[in-house]
A and B are shown apart, each in its own frame.
Chain A
Amino acid sequence: MNYAMALDYQNCINCKACEVACKEENGVQLGADKQRIWIGVVEGTIFGKPFANLYPSQCNHCLDAPCVSVCPTNASHFADGGIVKVDPHKCILCKGCMEACPYDARFVDDTMVAVDKCTFCDHRIGEEGTTACQATCPTKVRMFGDLDDENSDLVKLLKTKRFFFQKEYTNTLPKLFYILPDDEAYAKQSVSHNTIIHTWAEIKPLYDVARTRRSKEWKR
């Protein structure tokens, strides 16, 4: 198992169902700076005309997760399927992981006195097959799945689409695959010109190598 998620971000309507479902499913502490999942909004005007782009996001569960490497107590670790998790009992709140994460995907949960983050709903994916955010989404932005399984809905989707990553330059091998819109005008509007566009055939060997290298650390 090598869990990952594709996001057809162009479907997003910023309704925040995913955010609420995440909080209800996982008992996330409430508060403006406590988010396991969020929607990035970029808006402005082009020649006086307004535009806005939405980038739903969460932890990338990177194959080379810097938050895991930096943790002095092994509280941050890889769980089964490469899911990056925090063991609250080991967390000493040094916040090194929060500094290391390029995506700002971590926050302090004051009730657990530990760092908290997205877990890909690992307690429910066995039974339900989906994360809470995917299941509840009105426009079905997300597709959660197993990169190891050539027949998973996720890999089937990635084979038919081109995609990109957020902040690929940080070299963490992130696992949120942003699906490139087919519509050229919208792709141009919502993807930075220096963002690298990938295909599954081209990226798979790279991710396979990293998986082999790091999966030794994955806890069963």
Chain B
Amino acid sequence: MKVEISRRRFLQGSVALSVISGATLSTTNIMASSKEKPKTMLMKKVPTICEMCVNKCAAIATVKNGIVTKLDPNPHFPKSRNMLCARGVAGIHALYDPDRLKYPLIRTGQRGDGKYKRATWDEAYEYIKEKMVKILDEEKDNRSCIGYCAGEGLAEHTYKTFMADKFGSSNFLNHATICLQTAVSGYTLTIGGYGQADLENAKYVIMAGANRAEAILTPDTMDLFKRTRGRGAKLVVVDPRYTNTAMHADTFVGIKPGTDLAFVLALTYVAIIDQVYNRNYVAKNFVDFDKYKKHIIDSEYTPEWAEKITGVPADTICKIAHDFMAAAPQAIYYQGRRSTWAKNDFQLRRAMALFTALGGGIDVKGGIVFGHRLPLGEHTTTAPMYANAKPRIEKEAAAIIGATGSWVAWRNMVAEGKTPYPIRGMFVYKQNPMLSVPDTAKTKRMFEKMDLVVVIDTMPSDTAMLADVILPECTYLEREDPVQSYASIEPAIIIREKVIEPMYETKPVNDIMRGLAEKLSKPLWEITKKYDEDVQEELETTPEAEFYEDGGFNLAEPFMHSQEETNKHMVVSKHGEEAWKLLREKGVYYPNMLTYFQKINNNTYECYPKDKKYYSVLKLEETFDATAFLHDTCVNPADIADLKRSFNTPNKKVECYLGSMVAKGVDPMPKWRDEEHVKVPAGKFKFISGRHAQFTQNSTQNNIMLLELMRENYAWINDKEAEKLNIKFGDLIEVTSSVGKIRIKAYPTAKIVTETLFFVHGFGAKSEALTFAHRNGASDNEIIEGTIEPVFGCSVMHDTLVSVRKV
């Protein structure tokens, strides 16, 4: 999406927008029930898109007399493969959660004590306005003095449009740097895209650290576990834990946390020395392979060397390298979607991409594929330019700080009072940094320093309890969200339709932004006029009313149309009226859907015929178009676009040597640096975290249906080590790191390697407004240290040393 920039200087890093144009009102959105029920019961089925995690599975909601009674899978969306997981089905309890935020709230007590009064929307906006006017007046219209963050979601860009493009703050943070920024960037800079692992056709998959059975990702989870155990896909799982994924593996390799890079480098060494890699593919598609080959051999990344670091036997490494290359190019070193583990994470992802590429498994069926994206219409809005808005504060924290920033570096600077200009406030949308960002105590210190904290959410999270104003968003079942196009082997457009009207006084984010913008526009314009010399200069020649509108200072302008109108325009302008009708009826659209879509049996549907799938696309592309490829929505392609273009040369070469990185102090080729590796001293443990299939991070923590499946988290500890410490199942243990201390019940097990402690993320909420979640187990981020890796400033999640004591 595009933004027109009205003035000379533009400081914001990213300009993605979801905007608007005139279009007539949408049609009804109800899939008529196949069986007309008696008049006494009003039943309808509405297609929607799940928001219980980030996968966007297509669902069909059954509504009886205005109550959502069931969520079922919608088979039309190829990505979600006709399924809805435990969290998806339990979405009803996100909607009917008794603890939901129901009305706008304004803080009455001390920050953090949870005392709020119910307010009207106007009172809440008024409160925000008064504080904003005061802050911006004192900061002389430096818009960046208000930071903002957002969790992933279809409406993330609506919020960003307001905060970045209209309000004008450059201090944006999202989950990328506490999530998979290093992985997406590592793959993108090496092979031109993060891609999608074609697990429907791969013959050999190395899944290291990724846990597709418990961290469900569509369609990977669905595809993989129908093909393991001698049914086409050999699966090697490399993990410090024997996970539910490992349970399905042909080979399980227990590895010491943080040593994956040594493992991959040794695999690469074997492939090169034994000449089992695809030499033809490499000769045609690699650039600087000689440098990489020499580096790998000269560095002596032998299996024996790796065994000492990783704990993986050298002959196992040799066998995996040979088996992988024998199955190549239908062989994938699975990209994974994990957070950053160790300081070398970017190099690890590069080495993984290169190893897959050595077998030729890029842009081929059964390898890593890029797929195709169906176009959507777009619009422009005018982003006003603020002369006094300063660049983001943590630009120098790492080699490349993109428009989504570095959460931990940013937080540390604010908490420690080391910012180049004051950060006076923060808007938080759909994120819960108190549980999701490492070093909770420091995050709290950051919020305590602020004059204004506004939280937009559906639940009274730990972060919401630190807000001055809480604005209640409606849940995903009560709103229409921006239409989305999914790039894939089987591309499709999906729409989240409103299933029922918003409950209580909640609103969708588009309406919240409109209300806020209408309140703020004029008062903030007065401040801009007061301090902005460019504006003052402009006003000497242009009438004020005209410049206010044309310059984009009417902040409410992108939010004036309903989401339905916007969506209709985006679809109809590219695919026509029929496509729009079909999309609203089925919740999914792709060209030829009615002829392609077939039911094979009650479990299986075919969305695209085999010969119509987009397996190999690169060869067909004359010029590189960043928007045409599959990108993970977590990372803005624009952040790496200037680097990426050079990699997508007409020759489409795989990049072994990143010369551009040298000047930034980053190793141009994956290199093991012993000094970066955190070793575990005797008596200590390395703490690792992870996911499971019943909760999505901390966002589902109060869901009673899911709590039925898992009430609290337990700390995994190797059973032999536990015995020495006299720790038995269910014993309460105290885990201490340099930044915090938690108590949790123990789960001694043979399923975890030694010197390692694990518990799942997402528990341990302290907010007393969460009746069911509060004080269940422990929060990992209370003990994870707030350190970052040097390339993108991503938070290092698996380098914290802890001590364990039975209490």
Q: Which residues of A are interface residues toward B (Cβ below 8 A)?
A: 10-11, 13-17, 19-21, 23-25, 30-32, 43, 45, 48-54, 127-130, 132, 134-140, 142-145, 153, 181-183, 186
Q: Are A17 and B602 in contact (CB under 8 A)?
A: no
Q: Are A13 and B244 in contact (CB under 8 A)?
A: yes
Shortest beta-carbon distance from A213 to chain B in Å? 29
Q: Are A52 and B247 in contact (CB under 8 A)?
A: yes
Q: Are B226 and A140 in contact (CB under 8 A)?
A: yes
Considering only residues 205-258 of chain B, those with a C-beta below 8 Å from chain A are: 213-214, 216, 221-222, 225-226, 228-231, 242, 244-248, 252
Task: Tell me if B536 counts as interface (CB < 8 A to partner A).
Answer: no
Q: Are B244 and A14 in contact (CB under 8 A)?
A: yes
Which A residues are in CB contact (< 8 Å) with B245? 13
Q: Mark B157-196, 1 if CB is under 8 A from A, else 0.
A: 0000000000000000000000000000000000000000
Considering only residues 57-97 of chain B, those with a C-beta below 8 Å from chain A are: 69-73, 81-86, 88-90, 92
Q: Are B244 and A20 in contact (CB under 8 A)?
A: no
Q: Are B86 and A15 in contact (CB under 8 A)?
A: yes
Shortest beta-carbon distance from A156 to chain B in Å? 8
Closest to B709 in A: A16
Which A residues are in CB contact (< 8 Å) with B82? 135
Contact of A24 with B90 at beta-carbon distance under 8 Å, contacts A14-B244, A181-B229 already known: yes
Task: Tell me if B694 counts as interface (CB < 8 A to partner A).
Answer: yes
Task: Tell me if B283 counts as interface (CB < 8 A to partner A).
Answer: no
Given contacts A137-B603, A183-B229, 10 further A-B contacts (CB under 8 A): A13-B248, A16-B693, A17-B86, A135-B82, A135-B602, A138-B83, A138-B222, A139-B226, A153-B602, A182-B231
Q: Are B693 and A13 in contact (CB under 8 A)?
A: yes
A24–B603 alpha-carbon span in the complex (Å): 20
Which B residues are in CB contact (< 8 Å) with A142? 603
Pick the contact of A15 from B216, B602, B750 — CB < 8 Å?
B216
Q: Are B89 and A15 in contact (CB under 8 A)?
A: no
Q: Are B86 and A139 in contact (CB under 8 A)?
A: no
Q: Are B244 and A17 in contact (CB under 8 A)?
A: no
A31–B708 alpha-carbon span in the complex (Å): 7
Contact of A136 with B73 at beta-carbon distance under 8 Å, contacts A15-B85, A16-B86, A129-B602 already known: yes
Shortest beta-carbon distance from A128 to chain B in Å? 8
Which B residues are in CB contact (< 8 Å) with A183? 229-231
Which B residues are in CB contact (< 8 Å) with A54? 247
Which B residues are in CB contact (< 8 Å) with A15? 85-86, 213-214, 216, 693-694
Task: Tell me if B527 counts as interface (CB < 8 A to partner A).
Answer: no
Task: Tell me if B601 counts as interface (CB < 8 A to partner A).
Answer: yes
Pick the contact of A138 from B34, B216, B228, B252 — CB < 8 Å?
B216
Pick the contact of B705 from A11, A24, A136 — CB < 8 Å?
A24
Which B residues are in CB contact (< 8 Å) with A45? 750
Shortest beta-carbon distance from B203 to chain A in Å? 15
Q: Are A135 and B225 in contact (CB under 8 A)?
A: no
Considering only residues 343-358 of chain B, those with a C-beta below 8 Å from chain A are: none
Which A residues are in CB contact (< 8 Å) with B69? 24
Q: Are A25 and B70 in contact (CB under 8 A)?
A: yes
Q: Are B248 and A48 in contact (CB under 8 A)?
A: no
Q: Are A182 and B230 in contact (CB under 8 A)?
A: yes
A137–B89 alpha-carbon span in the complex (Å): 11
Which A residues are in CB contact (< 8 Å) with B247? 51-54
Q: Are B709 and A135 in contact (CB under 8 A)?
A: no
Closest to B230 in A: A183
Which B residues are in CB contact (< 8 Å) with A53? 247
Q: Are B694 and A16 in contact (CB under 8 A)?
A: yes
Task: Tell me if B766 counts as interface (CB < 8 A to partner A).
Answer: no
Closest to B248 in A: A13
A10–B230 alpha-carbon span in the complex (Å): 11
Contact of A144 with B602 at beta-carbon distance under 8 Å, contacts A17-B88, A52-B247, A138-B81 already known: yes
Question: Which of A11, A143, A183 lies at the interface centre, i.e. has the most chain B CB atoms within 10 A of its CB?
Answer: A11
Which B residues are in CB contact (< 8 Å) with A14? 213, 244, 693
Q: Are B705 and A23 in contact (CB under 8 A)?
A: yes
Q: Are A134 and B602 in contact (CB under 8 A)?
A: yes
Closest to B218 in A: A138
Question: Which of A15, A20, A51 lies at the interface centre, i.e. has the most chain B CB atoms within 10 A of its CB?
Answer: A20
Q: Are B230 and A186 in contact (CB under 8 A)?
A: yes
Which B residues are in CB contact (< 8 Å) with A17? 83-86, 88-89
Q: Are B213 and A135 in contact (CB under 8 A)?
A: no
Task: Tell me if B638 counts as interface (CB < 8 A to partner A).
Answer: no
Considering only residues 669-726 of chain B, those with a C-beta below 8 Å from chain A are: 693-694, 704-706, 708-709
Q: Are B229 and A186 in contact (CB under 8 A)?
A: yes
* Between-chain CB contacts (< 8 Å), 8 pairs: A14-B213, A17-B83, A21-B89, A48-B750, A136-B72, A136-B88, A137-B603, A181-B230
Closest to B75 in A: A135
Task: Tell me if B35 counts as interface (CB < 8 A to partner A).
Answer: yes
Q: Are A30 and B704 in contact (CB under 8 A)?
A: yes
Task: Tell me if B322 counts as interface (CB < 8 A to partner A).
Answer: no
Closest to A156 in B: B601
Q: Are B693 and A139 in contact (CB under 8 A)?
A: no
Shortest beta-carbon distance from B607 to chain A in Å? 15
Which A residues are in CB contact (< 8 Å) with B84? 17, 21, 136
Which B residues are in CB contact (< 8 Å) with A186? 229-230
Task: Tell me if B751 counts as interface (CB < 8 A to partner A).
Answer: yes
Task: Tell me if B604 counts as interface (CB < 8 A to partner A).
Answer: yes
Closest to B719 in A: A45
Task: List the 9 closest pairs (A to B, CB-CB), nearest first.
Answer: A183-B230, A13-B213, A15-B693, A140-B603, A183-B229, A50-B242, A138-B83, A153-B601, A20-B86
